[in-house]
Amino acid sequence: MVLLEEFRRKVGPVTIVKGGGYRCEAYNKKIGGAENSQHLYRQAADVKAKRVPHWVAVMAATFLKFRGMGFGKGKLHLDDRAGPMAWWVYQSKREHIG
């Protein structure tokens, strides 16, 4: 994902969290991922920025125009979906709003 490389250039090293990259349908279902998750299409990554505060990572992602962003538990979901933008806050490992 081109935007993820731009994000890395802006904020420095990032870690893709376990299960936060590409997912097959079976794994996505097992972990409670969204039915039409961008992870299924290689359009999403769940990341943790190593050298900047979480809010700086969010601002960089907004500046780069990521179309989908999820926040919570110290991670940031970033995706380059087609269609309308979507933002949400994770309430727990398997629940989100938005």
Q: How many domains does the chain have?
A: 1
Q: pLDDT at position 96, please?
A: 42
Query: Residue 19 belongs to what domain range?
Result: 2-97
The CATH number of residue 82's host domain is: 3.30.1380.10
In the DSSP assignment, the letter for residue 39 is G
Along the 98 residues of the chain, how does pLDDT read in single tens digits? 789 999 999 999 999 888 899 999 999 999 888 999 999 999 999 999 888 988 899 999 999 999 999 988 778 999 999 989 999 998 765 544 43
Task: Decide: pTM greater than 0.85.
Answer: no
Please state, in angstroms and as integers, the Cα–Cα distance from residue 86 to each residue in 12, 21, 41, following that order.
Answer: 25, 18, 16
CA pseudo-torsion sign 67, 24, 31, 18: negative
Own/partner long-range contacts of 64-69 (Cβ < 8 Å, ≥24 apart): 64/3, 64/6, 64/7, 64/10, 65/3, 66/3, 66/7, 68/38, 68/44
Q: pLDDT at position 74, please?
A: 77
